Structure 1
């Protein structure tokens, strides 16, 4: 079968490998779409960051070189002997977090904090392939009213939904989203779905600011403005109840802290390394710092929102490509232009041709 495999930084290869085989507790999925995530881009640019090299991941048992892709969906083509409730032909979305199912976090239901935390497509072979073997606990059935194109964006939507769950944001509150990649844009859409009426968005890309406005942001600001802090204070009448930091830099983190009201909160969603903060100011204004990683128990609700027409995550999809064009038309295109937001790879065009044509 054909896959897109990571061998090292700037070394992604479309390769023919032996067909995937599912174990007793796994299903074999024919992949419809697989999204390219910011994590995939980081691994391509200057990895490895999360990809295991030199030793295998404790749950997947795999290491580099491996097939990327954790934002995917498809159709079940084989079912392991120990799998129940799934049959060949079922349409499924994949919740790609590995779970050891034995540590105290998994036993408590906090499986996103598993002591062996990892993601299929980063710590094990993933969905940028014609077929992939998936543990049965990752499966989420799709109703006919949810398209594969929508299901392929469920994973970043789950990240945004979990971040909202981690926050204390309530209807009537004001929120700020800094960083308008896929997660930031989905935060805006899902905040609107929760009844948040005042949503400000900050980014440096005019295209993404316009997209944020289309998706429900009530105000947008270019983050490069010298008077950004004053404008944010004015818009929020002295500070936002909740600020979502979805960019992942020292500058945007500092802006997030400054933009929160006294007694407000900053939710860290973007990935970043060491950062500095003014702890004196943080304490004096009683700012709460909340972090959010992955997701838990959010896929069913998101699927239901889509099925009932309340939420369409496919609005952030800007392009689809086949596996042969995934590097130039996907990874390189995302790095070259902010016009591209979410690019989907389509390893099996015949599976999705009735939904949407392929746009290379």
Structure 2
């Protein structure tokens, strides 16, 4: 089969791989769609960041070179021994977090904090391939009303929903989302769906600010020509800020946009950061973070099935596996109008 493999920074290769039967507890999925995530872009640009290159991941047993892609959906094509609850032909979405199942966090249901936590497609072979073998615990059945194309966006939507659950945000509060990539836009969409009316969207890309308004933001602010924190403080500051860009500038703006007693949630990925501890203490601000997700897929699938949520709205392009680098990765890096680009490794499973 064909698979897009990470061999190094700026070195993604469409390799031909031999296939084997799924192992005990695993399911083979014929991949319909796989989304390109910001994490994939980071690995492509200047990785490795999360990809194991020397020692294999303790759960997957994989190290580079490996197949990227952790946002994917497809159809069950083979079953390993010991798998129950799935049949060949089932339509499924993949919740791509590896978990050991026996550490303190897994026993408490906090599997996104598992001591060996990792993501298929970053720490193990993922979905930029015609077929992928995944642990059965990662799979979710899709009702007929949920398309495979929408299901591929469940993974970034899960990141956004978990961040909302981590926050103290409630109807009647105000919030701002800093950074309007897929996660930021999905935060706005889901916050609006949960009854939050006063949502401010902050970015520097006009195309993304326009989408944020369509998705439920009541105010959009272009940070290129505005002191966002000063602007938001004119009305006393906001209750909750989501930092979804992963930059020092957006972190500063988020913290200084809060009212006294406000809360900032770190969602974007960044390295070392600085903040004014005196400002946090003097204003009794809360600074929390959110990683991955846990226990959110069922709610999102129900929202899709009921028609209350339309994740296809963030998809801007779909390309074949052979076009993934030039028309996918490179397009996302060079065109801010692209939001979520999907790769279709199996044309026979493509949906209109």
Q: Is the 8 A contact 1:199 1:216 kept in 2?
A: yes
Which residue pairs with 1:269 in the alignment?
A: 267
Give matches, 1:57-206, under 5 Å. 57-206=57-206
Distance 2:149 2:216 in 1: 21
Partner residue of 1:306? 304
* 1-structure distance, mates of 2:51, 2:251: 26
| CA positional deviation for 1:20 | 4.5
Q: Secondary structure of 2:98's partner?
A: coil
Question: Does 2:57 correspond to 1:42?
Answer: no
Give distance in 2, aligned partners of 1:171 and 1:228: 23
* 1:99-153 CA distance string (max 9 Å, x none): 0111111111100000001000000000000000010100000001001110000
Higher mean displacement: 223-232 or 131-140: 223-232
Whole-angstrom CA distance in 2 between matches of 1:280 and 1:15: 53
Q: SS of the residue aligned with 1:159?
A: helix
Shift in Å, 1:54 = 1.1
Which deviations, in whole Å up to 9, do the C-alpha atoms of 1:72-112 show, x marking residues without a partner? Answer: 00000111120111111100000000001111111111000
SS of residue matched to 1:303: helix
Match of 2:332 in 1: 334
How far does residue 21 in structure 1 lie from its aligned partner after superposition?
2.8
**Matched residues in 2 for 1:20 and 1:323: separation?**
21
Contact map agreement 2:230 2:257 (CA 8 A) in 1: no
- For 1:13, the equivalent position in structure 2 comes to 13
Structure 1 Cα separation of the partners of residues 325 and 21 of structure 2: 26
Quote the Cα distance in structure 2 between the aligned partners of 1:347 and 1:52. Answer: 24
The alignment status of 1:347 with 2:345, answered yes or no, reads: yes
TM-score, structure 1 normalization: 0.97
Distance in 1 (alpha carbons) for counterparts of 2:20 and 2:65: 15
Aligned equivalents of 2:165 and 2:227: distance in 1?
31
Are the structure 2 counterparts of residues 38 and 20 from structure 1 closer, same or farther at C-alpha, using a change threshold of 3 Å? Answer: farther
Distance 1:20 1:158, change over 3 A: farther
Structure 1 unaligned segments of length 5 or more: list them. none
| Cα RMSD after superposing both structures | 0.7
> Are the structure 2 counterparts of residues 269 and 55 from structure 1 closer, same or farther at C-alpha, using a change threshold of 3 Å?
same
Matched residue, 2:242: 244
Indicate conservation of the 8 Å contact 1:33/1:148, yes or no.
yes
CA contact (8 A) 1:20 1:133 kept: no
Confirm or deny: 8 A CA contact 2:229 2:254 kept in the other structure.
Answer: no
After superposition, give the CA deviation of every residue in 1:290-348 in whole Å (9 maximum; x if it has no partner): 10000000000000000000001110000000010000000000001101000000000
How far 1:227 moved relative to its partner? Answer: 3.1
Other-structure match for 2:282: 284
Aligned to 1:211: 211
Are 1:317 and 2:345 counterparts? no
Q: Which runs of 5+ in 2 are unaligned?
A: none
The Cα of 1:230 is off from its aligned counterpart by 2.3
Whole-angstrom distance in 2 between the partners of 1:7 and 1:80: 28
2 CA distance for matches of 1:233 and 1:27? 52
| Local SS of the residue matching 2:269 | coil
Contact 1:59 1:98 survives alignment (8 Å): yes
